Structure 1
Amino acid sequence: MSRAAIEQLLHAGYGDRTIARRLAVSIGTVRRTRTLLRLPAGRPGPKAAGTPADVFWTRARHTDSGHMEWTGTAHRGTTPSLRHGGNRYSAYRVAFTIAHGRAPVGRVEPGCGHPGCIHPQHVEDRAMRDQYTAIFGDAA
């Protein structure tokens, strides 16, 4: 991962552990970057989340297979979910918004075939699935 990405998140106020988890780098790498930039040591403990995406990144974990798994709670035992500002959000929908910069249309689910994957680049909304079906038909 590039130093620029770590630097951007440090300046945005993210904690070392959140940056490490989000970028799939070691905490040591983040701390060394912080030192090189002459930024003060990160404040330990949980930080207030500014957006649902901030909460998402604190509970998403990269896997060795290139997917991401949810370490938070699951609504009704099945749908990865998070709370922010008193509202419940689907982790799938938040991941979709992170990746595509727009609200999803309809149900969001993993498109990679890996059950429960919440990687922002792996989730699809109904509009994407409909477009795929329009191009390739139902023979997928």
Structure 2
Amino acid sequence: MRVVLQRSKEASVTIGGSVCGAIEHGFVLLVGLTHDDTDADAEYAAKKIAGLRLFEDEEGKMNRSIGETGGQVLSISQFTLYGDSRKGRRPSFIEAARPEHAEPLYDHFNEQLRSHGLTVETGRFGAMMDVALVNDGPVTLIIESK
């Protein structure tokens, strides 16, 4: 499992001209899954993300978690995170999990984030989406379960 996390001041996802998910401040998560990812991988990533201290405290140090700041999560499925562009000009996506494996696991990941007390908005699995965000910092991390 691979998650690109971006701290944001605001973000939204639009499908076909309609906003289907939006947050004020928090994290935008681009979530990629591969064939051998399991529920345990999703649970690990959710716990890690919920506990990361990436927001400033009163002294300006990154010392507060998303839950401590009342932040929200915008979670977007993104199979292209497992694209391999080492050969040729067209990336290979054979490492990305098939939808029948990835979608339930993506849903489980989002439920795990909610179980940590986070508000989670999402796009729609497999849809073409327009994602807008105001990156805060910028602060960007890559979380991998393996």
The question of a shared fold, defined as TM-score above 0.5 by the shorter chain, is answered with no
Query: What band does the TM-score fall into relative to the shorter chain?
Result: under 0.3
Q: TM-score under structure 1 normalisation?
A: 0.22
The structure in which a higher percent of residues are helix is 1
- Structure whose residues are more often strand by fraction: 2
Higher relative contact order structure (alpha carbons within 8 Å, sequence separation ≥ 6): 2
**Structure of greater Rg:** 1
